[in-house]
Chains A and B, each alone.
Chain A
Amino acid sequence: MPALSGLEQTKVRTAWLFLMPILIALVLIALWPLLRTIFFSFTDANLSDLSTFRLVGLQNYLHREGDEWTGLLVDQTWWRSVWNTLLFTVITVSLETLVGLVIALVMNQSFRGRGLVRAAVLIPWAIPTIVSATMWSWMLNDQHGIINHALVSLGILSESIAWTSEPAFVMASVVMVDVWKTSPFMALLILAALQMLPTDCYEAARVDGIHPVKAFFRITLPLIRPALMVAIIFRAMDALRVFDVIYVLTSNNTKTMSMSIFARQQLVDFQQVGYGSAASTLLFMTIGLCIVLYVMIGRVRFDGSDAA
């Protein structure tokens, strides 16, 4: 049918025409800046003048000068920030999954005031990260903070703690704020998965006298596992690029410096675009790995739902 194929052809042309604006936009604001950043990582560019630079090969990553190795891959501060970021990601994502799961299970029950809980839970999600970090640093204030006050009056602490500056507690503070801020998001994702579960197997489990806790581990958890995995990877990628909360709460403390903080400090504060871009590139590659993982999981679900 030549007429149909002609029509199809027109449609395909229309599709690309309609996609043109967004493709141009994405090339301009995503692809080009990304490639430019990777390119800068092989140069000695400086922020004050981005038009003159020298290609230096892999010098920003690793370079041998006489007997000494220099570059990102032997930079103690960089590895510290890599470690901090991984630690932050593992701890926050685990805690957020747990807290989110509890909140989601509660919200999945029908009870009076469920709407109120949902509204309350959305508040931390909506609050700008900068604001939540500011609010928490006031609550965590070493002298007049309510958290020290409460813990001391309850007898849990004998004296106030400088949460946001004492090396032993800075990471805990950052984790605390992030868990508060993003657990609701996790809860909503898990809740969406819970609400799609079939009710009949719970009915059967109840009839068979299976304890609800056992039913949770044997039925609920396996059934929501795919959605849970997607949510966890989603959150993990977000945690790997963490910037705002740490920047405001503990600024440039090396105990909490993340990869994003390190890269921005090199790029903007020290004006070392070459070195900073090398750090950005390594961060991108780390997250890129996660994206591949995510897309692989996502693709399975995507095709499945398309076929259905």
Chain B
Amino acid sequence: MKNLIKQTAFYLLVAIIVIYAVFPFYYAIISSFKTPAQLFQVDYFPTRLNLENYLSVFRDQPFGKNILNSVLVAGSVVLASLLLGLTAAYALARIQFKGRGLLLMTILGISMFPQVAVLSGMFQLVRTLGLYNHLGALTLSYMLFTLPFTVWVLTTFMRGLPKELEDAAVMDGATPWTIVFKVFLPLMWPALVTTGLLAFIAAWNEFLFALTFTFLDEKRTVPVAISLISGASQHESPWGILMAASVIVTVPVVALVLVFQRRIVSGLTAGAVKG
């Protein structure tokens, strides 16, 4: 009997946690299917399946273009971070040299820079390079937070690869370049997928730089586009449309997270706890 109560209490706690975590997203989904009039009525369960909000998200602003922008920025950030991160990780993980520990610590420190602290300098850099209101400004500035993290996780992972592999390649006269891209790269997929995903999500979700370095609606990424839908007036916010836009933006990320949850969890904890 006592066990049964304990079991029930435990599962009750589990249910509370799951509902707490999922409910806001669930509620956004059911709200996104409502007409403005139906939104005045609070419902806990889905009532209608009205796609009007989804259509008007794409009709009233260049949301398709915004999604494309976000994909382009996030994709290029991932590629650039992985490429730079991989070569740096080889040097940091496999070669003993003076100042290595200090360098790792510096890189880790950079990942904690508040974005605002580099904002005015970055703004000038972006203007000097002629990237203001270009997606390139975002790719460049997002590396500020994706690079340190990528280097850190890839270095940790590469340090664990067997030394014999490298030695054998060196015996065969392989150059460091070959070692990184022919010997290590094929073994690095798990770490590359993890860091790539985390970099993608970070870039997909970023707001402050995107808000500051772009100004035309066609150049906006989705988070900024959404914040501008709500920006019009506090009392007449088009909640149905906002929820539809929120769902559209979130579904791909949630799908990625659910498919790769093990990888993501291991990456997050490697990046933070071990770091």
Whole-angstrom CA separation of A263 from B44 in the bound complex: 40
User: Known contacts A36-B121, A120-B21, A267-B120: does B212 contact A111 (CB below 8 Å)?
Assistant: no
Interface residues on chain A, size class: 35 or more
Question: Is B261 within 8 A of A21, CB to CB?
Answer: no
Question: Is A136 within 8 A of B24, CB to CB?
Answer: yes
Closest Cβ neighbor of A185 among chain B residues = B268
CB distance from B158 to the nearest CB of A (A): 12
B residues near A184, Cβ cutoff 8 Å: 21
Question: Is B117 within 8 A of A128, CB to CB?
Answer: no
In the complex, whether A287 has a CB less than 8 A from a CB of chain B is: yes
8 Å CB contact of B119 from A30, A264, A298: A264
B residues near A14, Cβ cutoff 8 Å: 91, 95, 176
Question: Is B176 within 8 A of A291, CB to CB?
Answer: no
Question: Is A29 within 8 A of B21, CB to CB?
Answer: no
Question: Is A280 within 8 A of B117, CB to CB?
Answer: yes
8 Å CB contact of A29 from B140, B223, B265: B140
A residues near B141, Cβ cutoff 8 Å: 29
Question: Is B250 within 8 A of A128, CB to CB?
Answer: yes
B residues near A215, Cβ cutoff 8 Å: none
B residues near A47, Cβ cutoff 8 Å: 123
As a 0/1 sequence over residues 126 to 155 of chain B, the CB contacts with chain A under 8 angstroms (1 = contact) are 010000000000001101100110010000
In the complex, whether A157 has a CB less than 8 A from a CB of chain B is: no
Chain B residues 39 to 66 lying within 8 A of chain A, measured CB to CB, are: 39-40, 42, 44
8 Å CB contact of A298 from B13, B143, B275: B275
Question: Is B42 within 8 A of A111, CB to CB?
Answer: no
A residues near B273, Cβ cutoff 8 Å: 189, 192-193, 227, 230-231
Chain B residues 6 to 41 lying within 8 A of chain A, measured CB to CB, are: 10-11, 13-14, 17-18, 20-22, 24-25, 27-28, 31, 39-40
Question: Is A247 within 8 A of B227, CB to CB?
Answer: yes
Question: Is B113 within 8 A of A117, CB to CB?
Answer: no
Segment of A63-71, A86-94, A137-145, A203-211 engaged in the interface with chain B: A137-145
Question: Is B212 within 8 A of A263, CB to CB?
Answer: no
Whole-angstrom CA separation of A263 from B40 in the bound complex: 38
Question: Is A35 within 8 A of B120, CB to CB?
Answer: no
Whole-angstrom CA separation of A132 from B14 in the bound complex: 22
B residues near A273, Cβ cutoff 8 Å: 120
Question: Is B268 within 8 A of A188, CB to CB?
Answer: yes
Chain A residues 215 to 261 lying within 8 A of chain B, measured CB to CB, are: 227, 230-231, 234, 237, 240-241, 243-244, 247-248, 259-260
Whole-angstrom CA separation of A125 from B90 in the bound complex: 30
Question: Is B116 within 8 A of A291, CB to CB?
Answer: no
Question: Is A28 within 8 A of B125, CB to CB?
Answer: yes
In the complex, whether B88 has a CB less than 8 A from a CB of chain A is: yes
A residues near B120, Cβ cutoff 8 Å: 33, 36-37, 40, 45, 50, 267, 273, 276-277, 280
In the complex, whether A281 has a CB less than 8 A from a CB of chain B is: yes
B residues near A19, Cβ cutoff 8 Å: 87-88, 91-92, 103
In the complex, whether B118 has a CB less than 8 A from a CB of chain A is: yes
Whole-angstrom CA separation of A124 from B20 in the bound complex: 10
User: Known contacts A117-B18, A122-B264: does B226 contact A131 (CB below 8 Å)?
Assistant: yes
As a 0/1 sequence over residues 90 to 128 of chain B, the CB contacts with chain A under 8 angstroms (1 = contact) are 111001110001010101111011111111111111010
Which residues from chain B sit less than 8 Å from chain A, CB to CB? 10-11, 13-14, 17-18, 20-22, 24-25, 27-28, 31, 39-40, 42, 44, 84-85, 87-88, 90-92, 95-97, 101, 103, 105, 107-110, 112-125, 127, 140-141, 143-144, 147-148, 151, 176, 180, 201, 204-205, 207-208, 212, 222-224, 226-227, 230, 234, 239, 242-243, 246, 249-250, 253-254, 256-258, 261, 264-265, 268-269, 272-275
Which residues from chain A sit less than 8 Å from chain B, CB to CB? 11-12, 14-16, 18-19, 21-22, 25-26, 28-30, 32-37, 40, 45, 47, 50, 102-103, 106, 109, 111, 113, 116-132, 134-139, 141, 143-146, 149, 165, 180, 184-185, 188-189, 192-193, 227, 230-231, 234, 237, 240-241, 243-244, 247-248, 259-260, 263-264, 267-268, 273, 276-277, 279-281, 283-284, 287, 290-291, 294-295, 298-299, 301-302, 305
Q: Which 7 A-B pairs have the closest CB atoms?
A: A33-B121, A36-B121, A241-B114, A33-B118, A284-B117, A192-B269, A128-B205
